[in-house]
Structure 1
Amino acid sequence: MPEPPDDRDANDLLRSAGSDGLREMLDRAERKVIPLRDVVEPAQQSRLRPVSMVRWDHVAPPEPEWTVFQRVPRRQTTLFSGEGAMGKSTLLLQLCAAHAVAKDWLHTMPEPGPSIFLDAEDDQDVMHRRLAAVTKHYSVSFVDLANGGLQLISLVGQDAILAGSSRSGKVQPTELYNELLALVGDVKPVMIGLASAANFFAGNENDRAEVQQFIGLCTRLAIVANGSVVLVSHPSNTGIATGTGVSGSTQWHNAVRARFFLHGVKKQSDSEGGEPDNDLREIEFMKNNYGPRAERLTLRWQDGLFLPERRRSLLQQAAQDSRDDEVFFALLSRFVAQNRAVSPNRGPTYAPTQFAGEKEARAAYVNAARLKNAMDRLIEAGRIEIEVVGPKSKSRSRLVLK
């Protein structure tokens, strides 16, 4: 086997190539006495290098890292979806502010640190109004937010594309993305809020590979920052109807490590045709690869923000349950007296749905969901019971007083 060339042989080889780039590399090699293999090989090194596990027997597995504990994983992209005008941007802007001034957000304490909010949907006047409510809620000033590292960038009315796809399906970052990447590298924000995906991604939202590549670029921002990216998106009509909260390819759900869905709340959530309560929202933490899933929070519009509903004390909850029980019992008594059968089973005569439309229930603001709970409690307490009537082949159940 021939001996590898020494440094002088390497220099002769580079000179023979006649490339300006190779000459520059040659000059540096001559000045620093760098062997040829160190000049040529780095570009040829494989990225398929196995992870070393030899020390893992003696090191405890690392705990998951979060920027918002058990909700937003560090160095990952989180998707935040919801219909338009639900309040997604307001909630995300509040989260970015909470990081900057070390305040709570939806019953959690985000990690303190700088944050960047990049908004391609609203101008600075809208951000000013929204942040005014935030400063009042947190009892801080705009100077406090600025000193804490909150940076606001509005791209409304401008080209906000961060990535687009070529004919081959390769998703390429734009110059704007590179600018953002450089800013992220300088600031090292704990949180990067992006509103919204439709403004930033010029590829095909139905193409799994393209969606995966775009989320990968977002995650690169999170890795460079050693923080998190929360990307706002809008669901399709199907996503709204099915409650999945996504649009396009299922890869929007699969590619991220965590996902939130913000939607409205009906006044009578258990009855058909229930009208939405414009002051209420529900945020569902629908995916969390590293923490608890299926958490839900009810939010109410208060002083310009959506804030968690105050939790009732056990005494308050018991008092409400007792009132709901009495409303249900009184309505059942009236229906029995009028010979109007109602059933404990879902269908046309389902008691909670029937009772929810009565004036007594409306006056007490008791919806069908709460009436269903009251029915269960009354059956368990033995105050009402289920009676089966008719022949076995056509039997039906109805509620009666005991």
Structure 2
Amino acid sequence: MNETRKIPFPLDITAPVTLQGQPVPEREWIVPGWIPSRSVTMIGGDGGQGKTLLAQQLMTACAIGQPWLGVETTPCRAFGLFAEDETAELHHRQAAINAAYGVDFRDLERMEWTSRVGLDNSLGHFDQFERFTESALLGQLHAQLAGGDVRLCVLDSLHDLFTGSENSRTQARAFIGALRCLATEMNGAIVLTAHPSRAGMADGSGYSGSTAWNGAVRSRLYLKGVEGAKDRRKLTRQKSNYAPAGEVIDLRFKDGILAPLVGAQGVVASIRRGTARNAFMACLWALMAQGRDVSESSNASNFAPRVMASMADAEGYAVGELLRAMNEAFDAGDIRLEPVGPPSRNRRVIRPTDG
């Protein structure tokens, strides 16, 4: 007699007919076309090409609401785990990034990192049957990031965090699956840096071991040098489930960062910048009504973007976005600097041109 098969758990089934009349959800991005949300993105690159720098620039851009490599970002809190760089090196690198964006360390309230050089950074272990068991460190990441307000997590790098066989399809998919669970729980993106294999470097694909790594991640980017130009790099979108593959961003090392050779374009970027400028002007008028002066200097305690970022009229724009709006308002002639106070203690404050 056949025994009734026991079902351990019910399947979560969706009948498409129930979607009739429901709004189609927008796809969420941390960086449109490049870093999808609720997924794992891999950034590959040989040692010394700048992939860790690129990841730290991404964290900064999201934390201050500025573009990354000329592409708009979703402003959010960012966290990074760095297994190869000590805090002093991250500090040094961050100073150069801050200078490029025109911000200070006090503007990075939405950014955190941990340096784990010399520690056990394995996120899990495989038994003889290639079954994955998460480590205490991965458990700590779940406890710290899941359900919080961090929406970008950088993990640097794969060969420090993964202790299995990079050539095993089963292990590659299990590892990325574990990170995908973390991305889903934090409702954000995991960005994992990786070194390509020799074959991946030779053929330009950037593969790291088994091709299962490419299949498991939703987006894979590859950073490589340009022959004959030591200061040049190319970032290529090698694979994406949600955007065309093959797009390239040309980069150059400049003042300690990787800077795009061409700035951001596009209607969406223009609309957001214009709206940020409106928010800046609304904040300026509100501050004047309160008798509060603001400065253009990032070293001043009343630095305009920093003061405005906490105001309701700022509409959620971050310091970096308001800084960009301020500079554009100066260029457009919407605002000016006006000297106030006695000649012996003269200072300049921002005023609307028609104010």
> Does TM-score exceed 0.5, indicating one fold?
yes
Asked whether the 8 Å contact 1:188–1:227 carries over to 2, the reply is: no
Indicate how the Cα distance of structure 1 residues 115 and 296 shifts in structure 2: closer, same or farther if over 3 A, else same. Answer: same
Instruction: Give the match's secondary structure for 1:279.
Output: strand
Shift of residue 71 of structure 1?
Answer: 1.0
Q: Work out the CA distance in 2 between the residues paired with 1:116 and 1:85.
A: 22
Q: Work out the CA distance in 1 between the residues paired with 2:83 and 2:148.
A: 20
- 1:198 maps to 159
Q: Work out the CA distance in 1 between the residues paired with 2:240 and 2:147.
A: 29
- 2:255 maps to 303
- 1:213 maps to 174
- 1:239 maps to 200
**In structure 2, what residue type is equivalent to 1:52?**
A
Asked whether the 8 Å contact 2:77–2:149 carries over to 1, the reply is: yes
- 1:223 maps to 184
Indicate how the Cα distance of structure 1 residues 47 and 164 shifts in structure 2: closer, same or farther if over 3 A, else same. Answer: farther
**Percentage of pairs with the same residue:** 35
Q: Work out the CA distance in 2 between the residues paired with 1:193 and 1:289.
A: 20
Aligned counterpart in structure 2 of residue 165 of structure 1, from 126, 137, 141:
126
Shift of residue 61 of structure 1?
Answer: 3.1
Shift of residue 47 of structure 1?
Answer: 4.3
Shift of residue 57 of structure 1?
Answer: 2.4
Instruction: Give the match's secondary structure for 1:194.
Output: strand
Instruction: Give the match's secondary structure for 2:13.
Output: coil
Asked whether the 8 Å contact 2:250–2:262 carries over to 1, the reply is: no
Which segments of 5 or more consecutive residues in structure 1 lack a partner in the other structure?
1-42, 268-276, 312-402
Aligned counterpart in structure 1 of residue 90 of structure 2, from 127, 133, 136:
127
- 1:54 maps to 17
How large is the RMSD of aligned CA atoms in angstroms? 1.5
Tell me, yes or no, if structure 1 residue 283 matches structure 2 residue 244: no
Say which one has the larger Rg: 1
Shift of residue 45 of structure 1?
Answer: 4.8
- 2:224 maps to 263
Tell me, yes or no, if structure 1 residue 254 matches structure 2 residue 223: no
Instruction: Give the match's secondary structure for 1:260.
Output: strand
Asked whether the 8 Å contact 1:99–1:190 carries over to 2, the reply is: no
Shift of residue 44 of structure 1?
Answer: 6.6
Indicate how the Cα distance of structure 1 residues 173 and 47 shifts in structure 2: closer, same or farther if over 3 A, else same. Answer: farther
- 2:74 maps to 111
**In structure 1, what residue type is equivalent to 2:255?**
D
**For each residue in 1:260-307, what CA deviation from the matched residue of structure 2 results, as whole angstroms up to 9, or x when unmatched?**
00001013xxxxxxxxx2100000011111122210011001000011
- 1:292 maps to 244
Alignment map for 1:308-347 (pairs within 5 Å): 308-310=260-262
Q: Work out the CA distance in 2 between the residues paired with 1:98 and 1:45.
A: 45
Bigger shift: 222-231 or 181-190?
A: 181-190
Deviation >3 Å, runs of 4+ = none
Aligned counterpart in structure 2 of residue 82 of structure 1, from 45, 55, 68:
45
Question: What number of residue pairs does the alignment pair up?
Answer: 258
Shift of residue 143 of structure 1?
Answer: 1.3
Instruction: Give the match's secondary structure for 1:111.
Output: coil
Q: Work out the CA distance in 2 between the residues paired with 1:123 and 1:172.
A: 28
**For each residue in 1:156-194, what CA deviation from the matched residue of structure 2 results, as whole angstroms up to 9, or x when unmatched?**
110011112111110111011000111002533121001
Shift of residue 108 of structure 1?
Answer: 1.1
- 1:384 maps to none
Q: Work out the CA distance in 1 between the residues paired with 2:183 and 2:174.
A: 14
Asked whether the 8 Å contact 2:226–2:233 carries over to 1, the reply is: yes
Instruction: Give the match's secondary structure for 2:52.
Output: helix
- 1:101 maps to 64
Instruction: Give the match's secondary structure for 1:58.
Output: coil
Shift of residue 58 of structure 1?
Answer: 1.9
Which segments of 5 or more consecutive residues in structure 2 lack a partner in the other structure?
1-5, 264-355
Q: Work out the CA distance in 2 between the residues paired with 1:261 and 1:47.
A: 40
Structure with more helix by fraction? 1
Tell me, yes or no, if structure 1 residue 136 matches structure 2 residue 94: no
